[in-house]
């Protein structure tokens, strides 16, 4: 599971220190497989900050690029959002994370 988390962070999940997003288009298969791995391993095993970061990234992705979200993450993305529904605890933190996630995704989508 750590490798899957690192892949998602490398492609825009706003967790940890500021990082440079790799150049080039988002590797759809790799990102989808990483999310599937996390969902299959039980998203409940992520700690609270990780859940908040992933939730903000998924919500930003779905809102701003709905067709790409469907094409890349599809039902796995929707299942993850349902499983992470409790992750939006602090509205200000959520908005900050989502803004960072959107900025990160914009660079690769």
**Domain range for residue 22?**
2-106
Q: Give 1's pLDDT tier (boundaries 50, 70, 90).
A: low
DSSP classification of residue 45: G
46 Ramachandran zone, left/alpha/beta (phi>0; psi -120 to 50): beta
Kindly state the greatest CA–CA separation across the chain. 33
Q: How many domains does the chain have?
A: 1
| Per-residue burial over 31-43, b = 16 or more CB atoms within 10 Å of its CB, e = otherwise | bbebbbbbbeeeb
Taking the C-alpha atoms of residue 33 and residue 76, their distance in angstroms, rounded to an integer, is 9
Q: 10 pLDDT exceeds 70?
A: yes
More confident residue, 107 or 68: 68
Calpha distance 91→25 (Å, rounded): 30
Using one digit for the tens of pLDDT, what is the confidence trace for 29-62? 999 999 999 999 888 788 999 999 999 999 999 9
Angle at 79 between CA 25 and CA 91, to 5 degrees: 80
Residue 43 has what pLDDT?
85
Average pLDDT of 3-7? 93
54-100 pLDDT, tens digit each: 999 999 999 999 999 999 999 999 999 999 988 777 889 999 999 99
């Amino acid at each position: 599971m750590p490798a899957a988390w690192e892949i998602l962070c490398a492609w825009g999940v706003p967790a940890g220190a500021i990082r440079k997003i790799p150049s080039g288009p988002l590797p759809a298969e790799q990102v989808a497989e990483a999310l599937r791995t996390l969902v299959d391993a039980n998203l409940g095993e992520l700690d609270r900050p990780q859940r908040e970061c992933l939730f903000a990234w998924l919500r930003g992705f779905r809102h701003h690029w709905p067709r790409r979200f469907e094409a890349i993450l599809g039902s796995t993305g929707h299942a993850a959002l349902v499983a992470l529904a409790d992750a939006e605890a602090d509205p200000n933190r959520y908005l900050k994370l989502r803004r960072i996630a959107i900025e990160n995704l914009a660079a690769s989508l």
